[in-house]
Amino acid sequence: MIWYTLRMKPSLIIVGLGNPGASYERTRHNAGFRALDALSNAFGVGEWQEKQKFLSTAQEGRIVTVPILLVKPQTYMNSSGEAVQKLIAFYKLDPAQLLVVSDDVDLPLGTIRLRKKGGPGTHNGLKSIVERLGEGFPRVRLGLGTAAAGSDLAAWVLSVPPPEEEKVLQSAIETLPELVKKFVLEGAEQ
Protein backbone atom coordinates (compact mmCIF):
# COMPACT_ATOMS: atom_id res chain seq x y z
CA MET A 1 0.00 0.00 0.00
CA ILE A 2 1.33 3.44 -0.87
CA TRP A 3 0.76 6.16 1.70
CA TYR A 4 0.48 9.75 0.67
CA THR A 5 1.41 12.83 2.62
CA LEU A 6 -1.59 14.25 4.44
CA ARG A 7 -1.04 17.93 3.73
CA MET A 8 -4.29 18.63 5.52
CA LYS A 9 -5.21 20.15 8.82
CA PRO A 10 -4.63 17.63 11.61
CA SER A 11 -7.56 16.70 13.83
CA LEU A 12 -5.10 16.08 16.67
CA ILE A 13 -1.60 17.29 17.42
CA ILE A 14 0.41 14.88 19.59
CA VAL A 15 3.36 16.58 21.28
CA GLY A 16 6.10 14.64 23.04
CA LEU A 17 8.12 16.64 25.55
CA GLY A 18 11.88 16.32 25.69
CA ASN A 19 15.15 18.08 24.99
CA PRO A 20 16.84 18.17 21.57
CA GLY A 21 20.31 16.79 20.98
CA ALA A 22 22.14 13.50 21.27
CA SER A 23 23.29 14.14 24.85
CA TYR A 24 19.65 14.03 26.06
CA GLU A 25 18.43 11.24 23.78
CA ARG A 26 18.26 8.33 26.28
CA THR A 27 17.64 10.37 29.46
CA ARG A 28 14.60 9.91 31.66
CA HIS A 29 13.36 13.41 30.79
CA ASN A 30 13.15 12.48 27.10
CA ALA A 31 10.49 9.82 27.62
CA GLY A 32 8.05 12.06 25.70
CA PHE A 33 10.31 12.14 22.63
CA ARG A 34 10.76 8.38 22.86
CA ALA A 35 7.00 7.94 23.07
CA LEU A 36 6.64 9.94 19.86
CA ASP A 37 9.08 7.57 18.17
CA ALA A 38 6.79 4.67 19.09
CA LEU A 39 3.76 6.57 17.79
CA SER A 40 5.69 7.42 14.61
CA ASN A 41 6.41 3.72 14.01
CA ALA A 42 2.70 2.93 14.41
CA PHE A 43 1.03 5.91 12.72
CA GLY A 44 3.62 8.10 10.99
CA VAL A 45 3.50 8.95 7.31
CA GLY A 46 6.69 10.10 5.61
CA GLU A 47 9.76 11.42 7.37
CA TRP A 48 10.32 13.70 10.34
CA GLN A 49 10.90 17.25 9.12
CA GLU A 50 12.34 20.38 10.68
CA LYS A 51 9.53 22.93 11.02
CA GLN A 52 11.24 26.16 12.03
CA LYS A 53 7.99 28.14 12.11
CA PHE A 54 6.85 25.76 14.87
CA LEU A 55 10.28 25.52 16.55
CA SER A 56 9.83 21.75 16.20
CA THR A 57 10.41 18.62 14.22
CA ALA A 58 7.15 17.17 12.98
CA GLN A 59 5.74 14.19 11.13
CA GLU A 60 2.30 13.77 9.69
CA GLY A 61 0.38 10.62 10.48
CA ARG A 62 -2.95 8.94 10.48
CA ILE A 63 -4.79 6.88 13.08
CA VAL A 64 -7.23 4.90 10.94
CA THR A 65 -8.89 7.86 9.13
CA VAL A 66 -7.93 10.62 11.59
CA PRO A 67 -5.14 12.95 10.41
CA ILE A 68 -2.60 13.68 13.15
CA LEU A 69 0.59 15.66 13.52
CA LEU A 70 3.39 14.23 15.68
CA VAL A 71 5.60 16.95 17.16
CA LYS A 72 8.85 17.16 19.11
CA PRO A 73 9.45 20.78 20.22
CA GLN A 74 13.08 21.84 19.79
CA THR A 75 12.83 24.67 22.33
CA TYR A 76 14.14 22.62 25.27
CA MET A 77 11.75 21.35 27.90
CA ASN A 78 11.12 24.51 29.92
CA SER A 79 10.00 26.49 26.84
CA SER A 80 7.79 23.82 25.25
CA GLY A 81 4.75 26.10 25.44
CA GLU A 82 6.26 28.46 22.88
CA ALA A 83 6.29 25.76 20.19
CA VAL A 84 2.91 24.33 21.18
CA GLN A 85 1.25 27.75 21.12
CA LYS A 86 2.58 28.34 17.58
CA LEU A 87 1.09 25.03 16.42
CA ILE A 88 -2.33 25.62 17.98
CA ALA A 89 -2.49 29.15 16.54
CA PHE A 90 -1.37 28.14 13.04
CA TYR A 91 -3.84 25.26 12.72
CA LYS A 92 -6.59 27.19 14.58
CA LEU A 93 -7.21 24.27 16.93
CA ASP A 94 -8.75 24.13 20.35
CA PRO A 95 -6.31 23.03 23.10
CA ALA A 96 -8.57 19.96 23.52
CA GLN A 97 -7.23 18.87 20.09
CA LEU A 98 -3.76 18.57 21.59
CA LEU A 99 -2.37 15.49 23.33
CA VAL A 100 0.85 16.04 25.28
CA VAL A 101 3.08 13.13 26.29
CA SER A 102 5.57 13.73 29.11
CA ASP A 103 7.54 12.02 31.82
CA ASP A 104 6.35 12.21 35.44
CA VAL A 105 8.51 11.79 38.55
CA ASP A 106 5.39 11.58 40.72
CA LEU A 107 4.19 8.31 39.18
CA PRO A 108 5.69 4.87 39.80
CA LEU A 109 8.10 3.64 37.13
CA GLY A 110 6.25 2.32 34.08
CA THR A 111 2.85 3.72 35.09
CA ILE A 112 0.85 5.50 32.38
CA ARG A 113 -1.80 8.07 33.23
CA LEU A 114 -4.15 9.67 30.68
CA ARG A 115 -6.13 12.72 31.76
CA LYS A 116 -8.42 15.05 29.77
CA LYS A 117 -7.10 18.15 31.54
CA GLY A 118 -5.43 19.29 34.70
CA GLY A 119 -2.54 21.14 36.22
CA PRO A 120 1.12 20.72 35.32
CA GLY A 121 2.21 19.20 38.62
CA THR A 122 5.97 19.54 39.04
CA HIS A 123 6.74 19.27 35.30
CA ASN A 124 8.30 22.42 33.83
CA GLY A 125 7.44 21.50 30.24
CA LEU A 126 3.76 21.13 31.14
CA LYS A 127 3.96 24.38 33.16
CA SER A 128 5.19 26.18 30.05
CA ILE A 129 2.24 24.86 28.00
CA VAL A 130 -0.31 25.60 30.74
CA GLU A 131 0.99 29.18 31.00
CA ARG A 132 0.23 29.72 27.30
CA LEU A 133 -2.89 27.58 26.73
CA GLY A 134 -4.48 26.91 30.12
CA GLU A 135 -5.16 23.46 31.55
CA GLY A 136 -7.78 22.28 29.02
CA PHE A 137 -5.70 19.81 27.02
CA PRO A 138 -5.34 16.03 27.39
CA ARG A 139 -2.03 14.58 28.50
CA VAL A 140 -0.35 11.23 28.91
CA ARG A 141 2.18 10.96 31.70
CA LEU A 142 4.85 8.25 31.79
CA GLY A 143 5.96 7.34 35.30
CA LEU A 144 9.68 7.52 35.97
CA GLY A 145 9.50 6.66 39.65
CA THR A 146 11.21 8.82 42.21
CA ALA A 147 14.81 9.86 42.62
CA ALA A 148 16.75 8.56 45.61
CA ALA A 149 16.30 10.64 48.74
CA GLY A 150 18.72 13.54 48.84
CA SER A 151 19.61 13.37 45.13
CA ASP A 152 19.38 16.36 42.79
CA LEU A 153 16.09 15.90 40.89
CA ALA A 154 17.25 17.89 37.83
CA ALA A 155 20.41 15.81 37.50
CA TRP A 156 18.42 12.60 38.01
CA VAL A 157 15.84 13.28 35.26
CA LEU A 158 18.66 14.27 32.91
CA SER A 159 20.51 11.01 33.54
CA VAL A 160 20.21 7.73 31.66
CA PRO A 161 18.30 5.10 33.65
CA PRO A 162 20.02 1.82 34.49
CA PRO A 163 19.11 -1.17 32.26
CA GLU A 164 16.45 -2.60 34.60
CA GLU A 165 14.60 0.75 34.75
CA GLU A 166 15.07 1.29 31.03
CA LYS A 167 13.38 -2.04 30.31
CA VAL A 168 10.29 -1.10 32.37
CA LEU A 169 10.09 2.36 30.79
CA GLN A 170 10.46 0.95 27.26
CA SER A 171 7.72 -1.62 27.92
CA ALA A 172 5.38 1.19 28.99
CA ILE A 173 6.25 3.24 25.89
CA GLU A 174 5.49 0.25 23.66
CA THR A 175 1.90 0.19 24.97
CA LEU A 176 1.25 3.81 23.95
CA PRO A 177 0.18 3.31 20.31
CA GLU A 178 -2.77 1.18 21.38
CA LEU A 179 -3.71 3.62 24.18
CA VAL A 180 -3.52 6.61 21.83
CA LYS A 181 -5.51 4.81 19.13
CA LYS A 182 -8.24 4.04 21.66
CA PHE A 183 -8.17 7.66 22.88
CA VAL A 184 -8.56 8.97 19.32
CA LEU A 185 -11.29 6.54 18.31
CA GLU A 186 -13.26 6.34 21.57
CA GLY A 187 -12.41 9.52 23.46
CA ALA A 188 -10.80 10.22 26.80
CA GLU A 189 -13.69 8.78 28.80
CA GLN A 190 -12.69 5.22 27.89
Per residue in 70-120, pLDDT tens? 999 999 999 999 999 999 999 999 999 999 999 999 999 999 999 999 888
Q: Is 185 helix (H, G, I), strand (E, B) or coil?
A: helix
Residue 6 has pLDDT above 50, yes or no: no
Ranges of each domain in the chain: 12-184
Which residues are known catalytic residues? 29
State pTM to two decimals: 0.93
According to the model, what pLDDT value does residue 121 have? 82
CA angle 33, 34, 40 (to 5 degrees): 90
According to the model, what pLDDT value does residue 184 have? 94
Average pLDDT, rounded, for the chain: 92
- CA–centroid distance for 32 within its chain: 4
Q: How many whole angstroms separate alpha carbon 13 and alpha carbon 45?
A: 14
Per residue in 116-156, pLDDT tens? 998 888 899 999 999 999 999 999 999 999 988 888 999 99
Q: How many whole angstroms separate alpha carbon 64 and alpha carbon 34?
A: 22
Write out the CATH class of domain 12-184.
alpha beta
Q: How many whole angstroms separate alpha carbon 19 and alpha carbon 33?
A: 8
